Structure 1
Amino acid sequence: MAVATLKVKLAVGFLGNGQMAGYELEVALFAISIYLALKNKSFWALENIIYRSKNA
């Protein structure tokens, strides 16, 4: 994803040029993915939600 963003959208700019979108969405998704990778994973885990509802 990073290579595609650098190769295709870097020339367009952060917000785009009117014809093509910029790379602001890719930066936001990258920041969110880094946050979720470093945060406690068990809170967001789907199996944690499923098993919690069955045990309750």
Structure 2
Amino acid sequence: MEYADGPSVHSAVPIEAAVPRVWELVTDIRLPARFSPELRRVAWLDGANGPVVGAR
């Protein structure tokens, strides 16, 4: 038995918001730090300015 053959879970969450607003939230790497007592700071590496191909 391979891992891919094992049990899995799928879920869906309907979101009543415009796609640009959802994209803004999903790609905001600073958002989790606002709600986490452990995560304090995040930053894009290599001068990246947002979620672009190859950004780290």
Of Structure 1 and Structure 2, the greater helix share is in: 1
Q: TM-score, with normalisation over the residues of structure 2?
A: 0.23
User: What is the TM-score of this pair, normalised by structure 1?
Assistant: 0.23
- Choose 1 or 2 for highest CA Rg: 1
